[in-house]
Amino acid sequence: MSDINIKITDREGVTHDIAAPTDMSMNLMEIIRAYELAEEGTIGVCGGMAMCASCQVYVEVDPGLEPMGDEEDAMLGEAFHVKENSRLGCQLHIMPQMEGLAVAIAPYP
């Protein structure tokens, strides 16, 4: 098993050091759910289909994320609390290149 170290700040402002597996085909939204860093029913409402923005995060340290796709960009265009560094956690698939990633979970709606 190969893990990367990431930092996730929850909606209460508490930062968590997380070991995220790169060999399980998980995305950031699923990591947030697995570690219970957001209240049940307030993250990944659409199941990770880039259709609700409940998994929106603010990227604080970007170690080299994949570019944003059209669906993610369109969803963020309709979402609340969007900033220049907003991304959808469901679209950020955990990969070794993400070592050192730091994000803050955006408010729900």
Q: 48 or 109, which is more confident?
A: 48
**Separation CA 94–CA 99 (nearest Å):** 9
pTM: 0.95
pLDDT digits (tens, 9 = 90+) for 49-82: 999 999 999 999 999 999 999 999 999 999 999 9
| pLDDT band, residue 109 (cuts 50/70/90) | confident
Q: What pLDDT score was predicted for residue 1?
A: 65
Q: What pLDDT score was predicted for residue 14?
A: 98
Give the helix/strand (H/E) hosting 60: strand 56-61
Helix, strand, coil % over all residues of the chain, rounded to 5: 20, 25, 55
